Amino acid sequence: MLQGALFDMDGLMFDTERIGRDGWLAAARQLGIAIPETVIAAMRGTGTDACRALFNAAIPGAHYDEAHALRLRYADEVIRREGLPVKPGLYELLDWQGAQGIPAVLATSTRRETALAYLEAAGVADRFAAAVFGPEVRRPKPAPDVFLAAAAAIGAAPAACVVLEDSPNGLKAARAAGCKAVVVPDLTPAPPRAEGLWDACVPPLRDAVPVLAQWHAAAR
């Protein structure tokens, strides 16, 4: 049976990737620079140092830190004004997991303070047995560190865990960790199946329930 479900956060649990993208574009306007959509997409799901390198390699002027601060401020203001957008199906999935006794672990590239605030705002902090934050592991996604740490946090074998992800960087990390992977596409389309980065693709998050139920039953 499944020993754990390892959750990405932005773009998977919460519809915050769109806010983040809009924040990058707002920062670009304020700084008078252009941030290509391809750069925004490449930064999705990885760590700060990798994002800084991608950003500064593509955009002259080494504006990353200033743009990132403006992006964070934009996201904070939007969420404060409009509330945290929870993805449809999240509560149903967590309800099913809880009923099956499958521990949920947060495995996000987002910093601890922001991630915990989001869990509290959504009312799901008590649904997670543990949480691992990208800035606190040695290597960010697409390296496997965050998912290996998440599995270890609940004493589970990575091969007996399923990762739920929306980004190619996260899927690469899941594969490198030896986990099963379910992709729930958000702003970035799911990679082609031929790339071997996912075991199931479910457009809405709630459709992950029958997939996980089948795997959980098959592994008994």
Exactly one of 8, 145, 166, 186 is catalytic; name it.
8
Three-class secondary structure of residue 210 per DSSP: helix
The number of angstroms, rounded, from the C-alpha of 174 to the middle of its chain's C-alpha atoms is 11
Exactly one of 10, 145, 166, 186 is catalytic; name it.
10
- 150-to-73, 137, 164, 165 alpha-carbon distances in Å: 29, 10, 13, 14
In angstroms, the first-to-last Cα distance of the chain is 5
98 neighbors 128 (Cβ within 8 angstroms): no
Closest alpha carbon to 6 in 116, 99, 132, 187: 132
DSSP assignment letter at 191: P
9 neighbors 132 (Cβ within 8 angstroms): no
Separation of alpha carbons 219 and 1, rounded Å: 4
Residue 8 annotated to the active site: yes
Alpha helices in the chain (DSSP H): 17-31, 37-43, 48-58, 64-82, 90-100, 112-122, 145-153, 168-177, 208-218
Residue 10 annotated to the active site: yes
Q: Which residues are catalytic?
A: 8, 10
